[in-house]
């Protein structure tokens, strides 16, 4: 999954890998407030002093993490571990200091900034310096273990995750798929012991700050109490679950047609290795296996890009052009000089796509771009982060972040929803729009990625919340992981899994300690943003055919929301663009309405659903 997007405070510090994939922004040293007369004055001075240090120290950390991401060596890992330790210590001290003002009556901005500082660490270490050092070493080690992970089969070359991703996307050999699926999961068992210890230390740090556990700290970052946010996530999932269940039923039968007994389960679940993705989180790669004669999108975006001779730079230039068509200024020249667009052949890098804000002027993306339709969409996603980062640089340091982290993830994907046939015609990639009969194919292709992803994105943090709270003990880590995946996704492992395995660790964001609810919320919000923008533009046709390319009125209103950063609660930012204050999955249902009708017709008479043991 492509990621990035969090506020300054949110980067203090979820482990080295989390720094890598987010804003990589400003850090806070210990602050000694000047002599003032009241507790409120002390709080304001504390915040002002903290913000003043962000600009001074932020670029230092940003450059260190950039070097490690692009030159993965013993020495760069050492530097990151050292910086992680230093800044985790600083973050803990700031959070503890901020907690002193919990009961002080403060003006709106000071209170909001104090609360942000208190929640500023993704994995807060306790005040014990030895535990801070230990936590920094663990998080760096987990990220490094994942990045260096390879499966070495008995014959042939060793395979990194990017190699296995390609095999699972393209192979239709069930035995090969099962082999590499199991093989990749051999990289994560060595992480398990460190992960258990990391949870212990982070929970101790969270409790020092007044949170029940680290999962509660994460959930309270959404301008509501932790339990209310849990209920909000469940509400949103309840809105869209019927569409997922229809898609699951249809895909399951197609997998049985393709793979026979290997795809059949007594429970009605789908074996996870058959869905075209190393984590079964998105299913778009199996589109050729599930598309019927009346589900042809009419074109192959990857082939269009190849035929047009696109290279990596042109892919990125085209994405940038979408934003400038809305009235945004182009990225600075340093973006093109300092970003990583292609995988180097002479060194190990972390290819996971990410967007960077080094110092509020130096914006970059890091990608190993392939000339594919998937990467074309990913580029729009990452640029969404960069344009958001640049828009809110007008805010003070603590406010330089998304309204919540789901906003940051949603912006680029919302823009990518305008990569419609009409847009491709305007780019000269298509001669003419396919007939409306091709819409089912386009919607099915999108649903295999975006709708299939929704329950997976819930599971990742549902599991971590239960781990942090102690509801799931270390001796049940793997069983709980698969119980949640079976409950929400209706997928099951192709072979028996035990507690000798640590399958959560085979997903980048678990050892990288990147909170994952941002992606679930982003998948809700991107459709809500898209529908609001299309309504704003006066679009009267089907929602899925709307493109806002070139609409500067929409761009002006979008920029107004982006410029708010974290300065106001997210409902205020949502209202500024959409006119509503509640996240709402109904826009997804409106977008995919023709597909839902088609799926239900295809599923008529079938025994849909699955049972969980």
Helix (H, G, I), strand (E, B) or coil at 492: strand
Which residue reads 């994405």 in tokens? 319
Helix (H, G, I), strand (E, B) or coil at 366: strand
Contact between 24 and 11 under an 8 Å Cβ cutoff? The reply is: yes
Contact between 452 and 202 under an 8 Å Cβ cutoff? The reply is: no
Contact between 424 and 430 under an 8 Å Cβ cutoff? The reply is: yes
Residues 6+ apart with CB under 8 A from 328: 387, 555, 559
Ranges of beta strands (E only) in 429-489 are none
Of 393, 352, 315, 298, residue with least CA distance to 21: 352
DSSP letters spanning 32-56: -PPP-SSHHHHHHHHHHHHHHHHHH
Which residue reads 């299939």 in tokens? 452
Give the number of residues written for the chain.
613
Residues 6+ apart with CB under 8 A from 493: 271, 272, 482, 503
Active site (catalytic) residues: 382, 509
- The 3 state secondary structure assigned to 328-360 is CCCCCHHHHHHCECCCCCCCCCCCCCEEEECCC
Structure tokens at 270: 């789908």
Residues 6+ apart with CB under 8 A from 157: none
- Crossing angle (nearest 10°) for helices 74-99 and 108-118: 130
Structure tokens at 331: 């990225």
């Amino acid at each position: 999954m492509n990621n990035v997007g969090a506020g300054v405070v949110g980067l203090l510090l979820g482990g080295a890998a989390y720094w890598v994939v987010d804003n990589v922004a400003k850090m806070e040293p210990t602050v000694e407030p000047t002599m003032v007369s009241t507790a409120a004055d002390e709080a304001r001075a504390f915040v002002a002093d903290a913000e003043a240090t962000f600009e001074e120290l932020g670029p230092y950390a940003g450059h260190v993490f950039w070097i490690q991401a692009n030159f993965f060596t013993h020495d760069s890992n050492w530097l990151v571990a050292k910086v992680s330790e230093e800044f985790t210590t600083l973050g803990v001290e700031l959070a503890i200091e901020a907690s002193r003002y919990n009961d002080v009556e403060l003006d709106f901005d000071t209170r909001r900034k104090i609360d942000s500082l208190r929640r500023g660490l993704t994995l807060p270490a306790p005040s014990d310096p030895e535990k801070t050092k230990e936590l920094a070493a663990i998080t760096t080690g987990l990220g490094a273990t994942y990045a260096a992970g390879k499966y070495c089969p008995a014959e042939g070359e060793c395979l990194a995750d990017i190699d296995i991703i390609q095999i699972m996307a393209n192979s239709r050999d069930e035995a090969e798929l099962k082999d590499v699926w199991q093989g990749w999961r051999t990289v994560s068992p060595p992480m398990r012991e460190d992960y258990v210890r990391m949870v212990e230390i982070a929970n101790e740090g969270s409790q020092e700050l007044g949170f029940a556990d680290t999962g509660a700290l994460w959930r309270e970052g959404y301008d509501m109490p932790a339990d209310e946010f849990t209920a909000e996530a469940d509400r949103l999932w309840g809105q869209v679950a019927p569409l997922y269940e229809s898609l699951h039923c249809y895909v399951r039968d197609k997998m049985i047609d393709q793979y026979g007994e290997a795809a059949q389960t007594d429970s009605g679940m789908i074996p996870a290795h058959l869905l075209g993705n190393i984590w079964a989180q998105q299913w778009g790669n199996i589109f050729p296996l599930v598309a019927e004669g009346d589900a042809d999108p009419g074109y192959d975006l990857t082939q269009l890009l190849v035929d047009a001779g696109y290279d990596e730079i042109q892919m990125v230039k085209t994405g940038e052009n979408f934003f400038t068509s809305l009235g945004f200024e182009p990225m600075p020249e340093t973006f093109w000089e300092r970003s990583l667009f292609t995988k180097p052949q002479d060194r190990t890098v972390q290819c996971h796509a990410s967007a960077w804000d080094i110092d509020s002027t130096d914006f970059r993306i890091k990608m190993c771009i392939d000339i594919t339709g998937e990467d074309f969409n990913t580029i729009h996603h990452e640029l969404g982060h960069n344009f958001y980062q640049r828009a809110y640089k007008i805010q003070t340091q603590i406010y330089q972040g998304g309204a919540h982290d789901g906003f940051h993830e949603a912006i680029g994907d919302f823009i990518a929803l305008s990569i419609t046939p009409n847009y491709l015609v305007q780019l000269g990639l298509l001669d003419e729009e396919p007939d409306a009969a091709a819409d089912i194919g386009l919607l099915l292709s999108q649903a295999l990625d975006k709708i299939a992803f929704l329950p997976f994105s819930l599971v990742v943090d549902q599991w971590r919340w239960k781990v942090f709270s102690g509801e799931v003990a270390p001796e049940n880590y793997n069983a709980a992981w698969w119980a949640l995946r079976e409950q929400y996704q209706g997928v099951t492992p192709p072979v028996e899994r035990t507690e000798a395995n640590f399958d959560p660790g085979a997903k980048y964001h678990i050892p990288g300690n990147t909170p994952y609810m941002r992606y679930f919320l982003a998948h809700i919000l991107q459709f809500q943003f898209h529908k609001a923008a299309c309504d704003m533009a006066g679009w009267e046709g089907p929602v899925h055919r709307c493109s806002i390319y070139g609409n500067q009125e929409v761009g002006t209103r979008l920029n107004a929301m982006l410029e708010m950063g974290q300065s106001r609660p997210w409902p205020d930012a949502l209202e500024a663009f959409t006119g509503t204050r509640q996240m709402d999955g109904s826009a997804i249902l409106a977008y995919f309405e023709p597909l839902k009708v088609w799926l239900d017709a295809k599923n008529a008479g079938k025994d849909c659903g699955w049972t969980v043991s």
